[in-house]
Amino acid sequence: MADVLLFHHALGQTPGFLAFADALRAAGHTVHAPDLYAGQSFATLDEGMANARSIGFQQLQDQGVAAADGLPDALVYAGFSLGVMAAQQLAQTRPGARGAVLLDSAIPLGEFAPDWPDGVPVQVHGGEADELFMDEGDVDAARAIVAAADDGELFTYAGCGHLFADPSAPAYDPEGAALAQQRVLDFLARV
């Protein structure tokens, strides 16, 4: 079973995010899910992003990276959207990473390290109707990461928007969410 450090998206620790974490736990994985918003959550992406801007993106990323302190080295780093920043940085720079799962976002190679680390498998998930993922460079970053990884997978989901895998998010897609969750569980079972 995997030990996972899972970061929330801009809406915070919504009921849907927590349900995703619980589904991983129910499959036998250990999931650490730090709350970078100190208990706040938001109904819309605009509200969540306004909160993230008020805290500061670098501050949130630094808090996320610091959340790994005291945890085992052999972690799978996972994040939804905003949470991908810390998850990807840790996967690329913290020794011992067992894998990375990036949902709704990907950061260009070179932002945290020049290349994807050898031996660290990665899965990237994004909605084909997600303008943030498809039109702002994330899908290109995802393709580059998957190409650079020894074991990389990119999954896109037809008709799905941003945060489609979170039942409490406006763009929730039950079919896409179920498929993404199963693919993540399959990934965790093999890393």
Position 29 scores a pLDDT of 98
Q: What's the DSSP call for residue 170? A: T
- Boundaries of domain holding 180: 3-190
Give the Å distances, CA to CA, from 8 to 44, 71, 159: 14, 18, 22
Position 3 scores a pLDDT of 98
Task: Count structural domains, the chain.
Answer: 1
Residue-level pLDDT, tens digit, the chain, 191 residues: 999 999 999 999 999 999 999 999 999 999 999 999 999 999 999 999 999 999 999 999 999 999 999 999 999 999 999 999 999 999 999 999 999 999 999 999 999 999 999 999 999 999 999 999 999 999 999 999 999 999 999 999 999 999 999 999 999 999 999 999 999 999 999 99
Against a cut of 0.95, is the pTM above it? yes
What residues have CB less than 8 Å from 124, skipping those under 6 apart? 102, 103, 106, 142, 145, 146, 152, 153, 154, 155
Position 28 scores a pLDDT of 98
CATH code of the domain in which 95 resides: 3.40.50.1820
Position 89 scores a pLDDT of 98
